Chain A
C-alpha cells in the first residue's frame, strides 16, 4: 500500500517540521533564569512596555469580541446578513500589515484625518503611548476572523432557530444577544480567541507600525533585544520570549473563564426595549473605512510631493512604482504557492493515516511567534543550513500547515461515508478512492485551504526575516522595510502590491471550483 507509506511519511515530515514547538524551551536551559528574571524586571522599559502590551492585547480582544457580537447579532436575519457573510472572506484576506499601513497613513500626525479635521484642531494619533490605537486596529482586524467563526457556529447549531423563537416572543436583539448568543457561542470561541490573543501579544509588524514607541510593546522590545550584539541583552530577549509565553498562558486562563465571567442572569421574562441599531451603519462604515484606507495607499503610491495641509497630492509621479522590484513579488508567489501546496498534500496524507490524534497540528496558532522563530533558528543553525528560499519555506510551513488543517479537517470528516463505502464495494482500492473520489469531493475546501495557506505565507514577517537573514525578500518584508525607510510614496506602492496580490490570490482560489465544476452547481 503505497498510499499508506506516503501518509506515514507525511506524518513524520510534519513531526520533523514541528520540532521547534517541542524544543521551544530548550534555549532557556542554558540561561541563568533567576538573575535574568531580575534583570528583566529591572529594565526601565519593562513595566511601561508591559502596560502597553496588556492594553493593546486585552483591548484588541475586547474590541474584536464586542464588534463581532454586535455585528453578527444585529445582522442575523436581516437582508444584510448573507451579504456580509459573503464579504467576510475578502476582509479576512486583507493582510494585517496592509491594514496597519492604511491606518498609519490615515492617523499619523498631520495625516489625512488630521488634515480633514484641521479646523477643529483635534489630534488623533497612532503610536500613542498607551497602545490604544494599536488595540483598536488589531481589534477591528481580528473582528472579521471572529465574525467568521461565529458565522460558522451559527451555520452548524440550532442557534438561528432559537433566535427566531426569542424574537417572536418579543425580545429585542440586544437581549437575545446577551441571553442566547453570548452564553452559547462564547465557549466555542475560546480557541479562536486564544489565537487572536497570541497574535496580538506577539505581533511585531502591527505593533511596529501602530504601537507605542517609547517604549514599544514587549514583542518589539524582545525582538530588538534578540538582535542586540550584547550577549546579556540577547539573553534578556530570550527571557522576554519566555515571559510572553507565560503571559499568553495567563490570557488563556482568562479566556477560559470568560463564559463564566460573562454569564447572564436567567431571563426574568421582562422584555427590555434597548434597541441595537449598530448593524447596517456599522457594517457600512467599516467597509467605507477599508475603502478609504485602500484609497490613501493608492494616492500615496502615485505621489511626488504631498505636504500638510493639502488633502490631495501636490505633484504626482510614477517613481514609486518604477522603483518596485519584481523579485520580492516572485519570491512571495513561489513561497506562498509552494507552501500552500505542500501543506495541503501533507495534511491530506496525515488525515489519510486514519490517526485520530492530530489536534497537535494546530499548536503553532496558539503560541507566540517569537519563541517559535527562535526555536526554528536554532534548528537551522544546528543543521548548518544557510539562509535560503528552502529554509524560509520550511519555516513558513509551521504556520501554513495548521491553517490548512483548520480548513481541511472538518471537510475530510464530513466526506459522505456511504459514497466511499459504495465505491469500496465496487472494488476501488485505497489509493483510487483517494484520488478519484475524495480529492474531487474536497476540491472546494482544498481551494479554500490553498487561499488561506497562501495568505498565511504571504503575511509571515518574523520567520522570513529571521530564517532568511534578510536575503529572502517578500512583499511583507519589503513593506516593513519601506515603512522603516519612512518614504510614504514607496510605502504606498509596496503596500498596494501586497494588498493586490493577497486579494487576487484569494479571489482566484475562490473562483477555481466554479471553473472546474462549471456544470455542477452543488460543487461550487
Chain B
C-alpha cells in the first residue's frame, strides 16, 4: 500500500535524471558535512604532502569535511590492512576512507570485493575529465567507477647534459652506455614500484610492445615474452652501480646519488619531476629529462574508497574536489607539485586551460609517446621471477 505512490513519482523523475543527479549529490554533500576522512596516501614527498594538506583545508572550508592525511610508505600494506579488517569482520568501520591507488593494488582490491561500488562517474566534476586519457581502465582492468582519476604519470629518465651528451634512445643503447661507463647506472630494488615500472619499460622496449603483454598472463607467454629481458638484465647487472650487489632503496636515494655525480641518470614517474627537484634544490641546475624513442610507460593514478569506510560521502566530496579545476591546476603548478592534470583543457574555461598542459624545459618533452601499462596480472610474476633470479645478490 505504501509503496504505490512512489511508482508514478519515479516515472516522473526519469526525464529529469540530471536533476535527481544534482539532488543526489547535494544529499551526498549534506551527509558528508562533519565526517572525517582518513586519506591514505604515499607520504614520501613533502611537496605532495603539503598539496594534500592544502586540499584538505579547502574542502574543510567549502564542504565541512575533515580530511586527515595518513602518510604510508607502501600502498600494498594498506591493501593488506583493509583485507585483514574484512577478515576480522570489520565491514563498516574500516580505518581507511580513501586511498591513493592504481595498478596491481587496485586489481587486488577490486578482485577481493573490498571497494565501494561504482561512484566515480557520479561526481559532478567527472564531466571535466579528459576521456581521451586511459581513465576508465587501470593497467587494462576496467575501473567500473570504483576509483576516480587524480593525475597522470609517465616514466621519465633524468640526466645532466654536461655529463651525458646523448641520452640513450632505447634499451640497447642504455646497455651500451653501461658498457662505456660501468657502475654509473642503477634502478631501485624490486618490488619497489619504480623498479617494477622500469622493468616493464625495458620489457616493452625489448619485446616491441608484444600484444601478449596486454592479455592476462599465462605461463607459456610469460616464458616467451620475458626471455629477452632476462638475457638483457644478465648482461646489464654486472655493469650497474656497485655491480648490482646493492640497489638504491628508492628513487629518492637515486636522486641523491645522481645529484652527487654517483649516477648518470635518475628515474621518476612524474614527467615534471626534474623541474620540481631543481627548484627545491634536490637536483643541480641544468638537468633535463628524456624518454626512449618508442615511448615511455604511462598511467593514471586514482583514488578509491574501501567498502568498509564509514565516511564514504565525505570521501566522495574530497575525491570530487581533487578533480576540480582549482585543485588540478594547483597540482600541475611546478612550484606546488607538477603532477599532470587529468582534465580536458577544452572543458576548462579561461587562461587556466593553457596552464594545465604547460611543460618546463627540464621536464619530459610532451612529444614523448605514451605506452600503455601491460595487463596488471603481469606485475606479480615479473617481480617473482626477478627476485628468484637476482633476489639473492651473489
Q: Which residue of B lies closest to A480 (CB)?
A: B73
Contacts of B63-88 to chain A: CB distance below 8 A: 68, 70-74, 76-77, 79-81, 83-85, 88
Give complex CA distance A161, B249 in Å. Answer: 53
Query: B88 touching A213 by the CB < 8 A rule?
Result: no
Give complex CA distance A304, B285 in Å. Answer: 13
Query: A48 touching B393 by the CB < 8 A rule?
Result: yes
Contact of B73 among A44, A212, A484 (CB under 8 A): A484
Residue A473 at the chain B interface, CB threshold 8 Å: yes
Say how far A63's CB is from chain B's closest CB, in angstroms.
22
Give complex CA distance A482, B105 in Å. Answer: 24
Give complex CA distance A416, B44 in Å. Answer: 55
Give complex CA distance A484, B193 in Å. Answer: 13
Total interface residues in chain B, CB < 8 Å:
56
Query: B74 touching A227 by the CB < 8 A rule?
Result: yes
Q: Which residue of B lies closest to A109 (CB)?
A: B262
Which B residues lie within 8 Å of A384 (CB)? 88, 90, 93
Query: A229 touching B70 by the CB < 8 A rule?
Result: no
Query: A214 touching B246 by the CB < 8 A rule?
Result: yes
Give complex CA distance A470, B393 in Å. Answer: 32
Which B residues lie within 8 Å of A234 (CB)? 80
Residue B259 at the chain A interface, CB threshold 8 Å: yes
Q: A381-B88, A469-B70 are in contact. Are A486 and B255 (CB under 8 A)?
A: yes
Residue A110 at the chain B interface, CB threshold 8 Å: yes
Which A residues lie within 8 Å of B105 (CB)? 229
Q: A308-B262, A317-B281, A381-B84 are in contact. Are A227 and B392 (CB under 8 A)?
A: no
Residue B282 at the chain A interface, CB threshold 8 Å: yes
Residue A485 at the chain B interface, CB threshold 8 Å: yes
Q: Which residue of B lies closest to A209 (CB)?
A: B249
Give complex CA distance A228, B249 in Å. Answer: 17
Give complex CA distance A129, B247 in Å. Answer: 10
Q: Which residue of A lies closest to B79 (CB)?
A: A229
Residue A488 at the chain B interface, CB threshold 8 Å: yes
Which B residues lie within 8 Å of A308 (CB)? 259-262
Query: B44 touching A485 by the CB < 8 A rule?
Result: yes
Which B residues lie within 8 Å of A229 (CB)? 76, 79-80, 83, 105, 108
Query: B252 touching A487 by the CB < 8 A rule?
Result: yes
Residue A495 at the chain B interface, CB threshold 8 Å: no
Query: A214 touching B95 by the CB < 8 A rule?
Result: no
Contact of A315 among B70, B253, B281, B387 (CB under 8 A): B281
Residue A481 at the chain B interface, CB threshold 8 Å: yes
Give complex CA distance A488, B80 in Å. Answer: 30
Q: A469-B81, A469-B95 are in contact. Are A305 and B284 (CB under 8 A)?
A: yes
Q: A227-B74, A307-B260, A481-B44 are in contact. Are A323 and B95 (CB under 8 A)?
A: no
Contact of B247 among A213, A387, A488 (CB under 8 A): A213
Contact of B261 among A212, A307, A490 (CB under 8 A): A307
Residue B38 at the chain A interface, CB threshold 8 Å: yes
Total interface residues in chain A, CB < 8 Å:
47
Give complex CA distance A212, B393 in Å. Answer: 10
Interface string of B162-180 (1 = CB under 8 A from A): 0000000000000000000
Say how far A373's CB is from chain B's closest CB, in angstroms.
14
Residue B145 at the chain A interface, CB threshold 8 Å: no
Which B residues lie within 8 Å of A489 (CB)? 281
Residue B250 at the chain A interface, CB threshold 8 Å: yes
Say how far B275's CB is from chain A's closest CB, in angstroms.
15
Which B residues lie within 8 Å of A386 (CB)? 93, 95
Q: Which residue of B lies closest to A320 (CB)?
A: B46
Give complex CA distance A127, B393 in Å. Answer: 13
Give complex CA distance A318, B183 in Å. Answer: 35
Give complex CA distance A228, B71 in Å. Answer: 17
Count of A-B contacts judged by CB separation below 8 Å = 127
Give complex CA distance A304, B277 in Å. Answer: 11
Say how far B2's CB is from chain A's closest CB, in angstroms.
37
Residue B199 at the chain A interface, CB threshold 8 Å: no
Query: B38 touching A471 by the CB < 8 A rule?
Result: yes
Give complex CA distance A108, B260 in Å. Answer: 11
Contact of A44 among B44, B83, B380, B392 (CB under 8 A): B392
Residue A352 at the chain B interface, CB threshold 8 Å: no
Give complex CA distance A127, B248 in Å. Answer: 10
Contacts of B348-394 to chain A: CB distance below 8 A: 380, 387-389, 391-393
Q: A387-B95, A484-B44 are in contact. Are A473 and B71 (CB under 8 A)?
A: yes
Which A residues lie within 8 Å of B73 (CB)? 481, 484
Say how far A384's CB is from chain B's closest CB, in angstroms.
7
Query: B247 touching A484 by the CB < 8 A rule?
Result: no
Give complex CA distance A234, B77 in Å. Answer: 11
Contacts of B229-263 to chain A: CB distance below 8 A: 244-253, 255-257, 259-262
Which A residues lie within 8 Å of B50 (CB)? 323
Give complex CA distance A228, B78 in Å. Answer: 9
Query: A471 touching B261 by the CB < 8 A rule?
Result: no
Q: Which residue of A lies closest to B254 (CB)?
A: A486
Query: A129 touching B71 by the CB < 8 A rule?
Result: no
Q: Which residue of A lies closest to B241 (CB)?
A: A109
Residue B43 at the chain A interface, CB threshold 8 Å: yes
Q: A44-B387, A227-B76, A485-B252 are in contact. Are A471 and B44 (CB under 8 A)?
A: no
Contact of A487 among B46, B81, B88, B260 (CB under 8 A): B46
Q: Which of A127, A303, A490 has the most CB of B within 10 A?
A: A127
Query: A471 touching B281 by the CB < 8 A rule?
Result: no
Which A residues lie within 8 Å of B71 (CB)? 470, 473, 481
Say how far B240's CB is from chain A's closest CB, in angstroms.
11
Q: Which residue of A lies closest to B244 (CB)?
A: A214
Which A residues lie within 8 Å of B252 (CB)? 484-487
Q: A44-B387, A229-B83, A387-B95 are in contact. Are A215 and B70 (CB under 8 A)?
A: no
Task: Name 26 A/B residue pairs within 8 A (Cβ), A-sorted.
Answer: A44-B387, A44-B391, A110-B262, A127-B246, A128-B246, A213-B247, A214-B244, A224-B74, A227-B76, A227-B77, A227-B80, A229-B76, A229-B80, A229-B105, A305-B282, A305-B284, A315-B281, A381-B85, A381-B90, A386-B95, A469-B70, A481-B43, A481-B44, A484-B73, A488-B256, A490-B46
Q: Which 5 A-B pairs have the closest CB atoms?
A: A486-B252, A308-B260, A305-B281, A110-B260, A227-B77
| Residues of chain B at the chain A interface (Cβ within 8 Å) | 38, 40, 43-46, 50, 68, 70-74, 76-77, 79-81, 83-85, 88, 90, 93, 95, 105, 108, 189, 244-253, 255-257, 259-262, 280-282, 284, 380, 387-389, 391-393
Not counting A214-B244, A307-B261, A384-B90, a sample of 16 additional A-B residue pairs whose C-beta atoms are within 8 angstroms of each other reads: A43-B391, A45-B392, A129-B393, A213-B246, A214-B247, A215-B392, A224-B74, A227-B80, A323-B50, A384-B88, A470-B70, A484-B250, A484-B252, A485-B44, A486-B256, A488-B256
